[in-house]
Amino acid sequence: MEESKSKPIIGVTTAWSIETWGDSLEGGYYYVGKPYVEAIAKCGGIPLLVTPEYDLSTLDDTINNILDTVDGLLFSGGGDSKKNSGKSISGLREQQPKRYDFEAELLTKARGKGMPILGICRGFQMIVEVFGGKLSNELVENHKQNIFGSNPWHKVQINKESKLYDVLKKEIWDVNSFHVQKAEKPPENFIISVISDDGVIEGVEAIEDPFLAGFQFHPEELMWRDQEAEKIFKWFIKSCTNK
């Protein structure tokens, strides 16, 4: 009998309600959108929620234990800032300091181990900032759609030199959009893999890492109507299986 291969365990980061909404009922709660979890399960992985529950004295051990447990990491979105004013937006750490410090350390150590990393929305922005790129503090307009995420909102162009293009085999794509903050410059040794029709960076990927990619749009919601989006998760899960 052929031995069955075990499914890869994918750590999915979570937001903390107190940092998002300021509630304080019994310490709030950690949360993540269900589509992230569903997408991983549908594409062959086992999702495991990873929470920023730590203190500074145990942070290092906590992260090492997480990395010993998972085969890949998905840095999720969520936790939109409520501190925006006028046409500017606060930085990622100012928006959610506890989550930021945890995820920045987790990102850095995971990359050092060569672990596959996928970032979506805020997760994409964390990849950009933590690895030396730059985010804009100006609010971006017309990128927060008022329809369901399974529906596309604008067109993007896929870089033909990217790994993503090798997966999708297409140059123009219609994607969804739920953000007000944007990346201004990718980190060194990353390329822009996706850019919107109005010039907003929608995807980056590391040139030399086996799998380190981020997307500003939400393939986990888009994939229920678009098989191209599902290919992103299958690509990610396959990388976690083969690492």
* Catalytic residue ranges: 121, 218, 220
Q: How many CB atoms lie within 10 A of CB 117?
A: 27
Radius of gyration of the chain (CA): 17
Q: Which of 69, 76, 78 is nearest to 46 (CA)?
A: 69
Helix H or strand E encompassing 117: strand 117-120
Q: How many CB atoms lie within 10 A of CB 113?
A: 10
Helix H or strand E encompassing 235: helix 227-242
Q: Which amino acid is at 173?
A: W
As a three-state string, the secondary structure of 57-74 is CCHHHHHHHHHHHCCEEE
Q: Which of 180, 183, 174 is nearest to 222 (CA)?
A: 174
User: How far apart (Å, rounded) are the C-alpha atoms in residues 198 and 195?
Assistant: 8
